[in-house]
Amino acid sequence: MADNALHVVDPEIADLIKAEERRQADTVKLIASENYVSKAVLAATGTVLTNKYSEGYPGKRYYEGQQVIDQIETLAIERAKAVFGVNHANVQPYSGSPANLAIYLAFLQPGETVMGMGLPFGGHLTHGWSVSATGKWFNPVRYGVRKDTGRVDMDEVRELALRERPKVIFCGGTAIPRIIDFPAFAEIAKEVGAVLAADIAHIAGLVAGGAHPSPVGYADVISTTTHKTLRGPRGAMLMATSDEHAAAINKAVFPGLQGGPHNHTTAAIAVALREAGTEAFRDYARQVVLNAKALAEELISRGFDLVSGGTDNHLILMDLTPKGVGGKPAAQALDKAGLETNYNTVPFDTRKPFDPSGIRIGTAGVTSRGMGVAEMRQIGAWIDQVVSALAKDEEEAKHVILRVHGEVRELTKHFPAPGL
């Protein structure tokens, strides 16, 4: 019925949505920050809940008519607490960046020092990078990774923290293929009297499914998006283990940064969290990691240089310098072949951010489609064929891309995407 109404009112948008459905169905999603939501999550997102305005929190609203909305938000909160084992959860942040900005508002004054992983090393814009408001309004200090290992050196992090005395330390990021050492970060934060904020946006689903260690018990505040590995809608959450931090976070989100929450998104978050609390989701999280390791092994066997030498989670970061191809042309060629990735800066990159040396790939989406280790081997072979052809000859690359795209379409027929 909704599809029919959309087609009647706006056939152009309806047709474009159908085209995107076909595109998603026919391609292999390897972008580490993307996934597929279930039909249930999709259904909750497109409901009459979008009609309701709900400034405030359950039981303390500034608008009437909240009898149902309060129940929905409370369900989402209680499920977040149960899935992640936290005492407090705020499910209102509109997305990951506003959620992280709320941490600044809660625990920092403008000009005070924040410490986070540098963007070129795998950190996030909102961890104090120069082009972000967080790098302009606060005093950012940044740690990176060792050149020889591609991993964070916790001794160097400690030295930097002792010297700079940040008020907040961020751990986590957007291109980190290895386990985050939450206990070590917690020890450093305690030593310098800083609030430790764990940004688990990429690995939240793995944490929920027991496939990655949890920051609970170590981080004072936990920030996450609700999509990516968690397979929810485009939203975010903030979690805490103490009443003091919970009150500061709630006040920062509303009224500090936002007005009314997006109730349709809150409902979809609740649905996703219910799914994340199942044994099936735990199996999914484990398979995501198994698939990433298998894909990494296949790529290494074909001569690809992986940052840190592999992966412990869903994410693989490749430096294409030894292949003689830039990350941007490689990502564009792979996209034409039906293999979605994103070009990405690698640690100590000598190229510009908009034309970097690497590409970032992830296995959350392909695992949601039911693909396993055998399919990862095939995907690794396709990536090699496209990149190798691109490095040799432009005309040859066109033929290889065309052939691979046909083979990708054939594979995706056997693994329907959830929600489509």
Signed CA dihedral, 227, 232, 238, 241: sign only: negative
Which amino acid, one-letter code, is at 274? R
Give the count of beta carbons closer than 10 Å to the beta carbon of residue 47.
Answer: 13
Active-site annotation holds for 199 = yes
Active-site annotation holds for 55 = yes
Q: Which of 228, 328, 360, 369 is catalytic?
A: 228
Q: Which of 199, 275, 298, 340 is catalytic?
A: 199
Active-site annotation holds for 228 = yes
Q: Which of 26, 34, 52, 55 is catalytic?
A: 55
Q: Which of 81, 151, 158, 234 is catalytic?
A: 234
Q: Which of 27, 225, 226, 367 is catalytic?
A: 225
Q: Which of 34, 52, 53, 74 is catalytic?
A: 53
Torsion angle, alpha carbons of 329, 334, 340, 345, to 10? -30
Active-site annotation holds for 36 = no
Residues contacting 406, CB < 8 A, separation 6+: none
Candidates 297, 308, 311, 320; CA nearest to 377 is 297
Which amino acid, one-letter code, is at 346? V
State the Cα–Cα distance between residues 193 and 153, nearest whole angstrom. 20
Give the CA distances from residue 31 to residues 118, 193, 220, 408, in Å, rounded to whole numbers and listed in that order. 21, 37, 30, 16
- Whether residue 123 contacts residue 277, with contact meaning beta carbons closer than 8 Å, is answered with no
Candidates 278, 289, 335; CA nearest to 312 is 289
**Residue where the block lists tokens 């998006």:** 225
State the Cα–Cα distance between residues 115 and 138, nearest whole angstrom. 10
Tokens of 92: 């209102």
Residues acting as catalytic residues: 53, 55, 199, 225, 228, 234
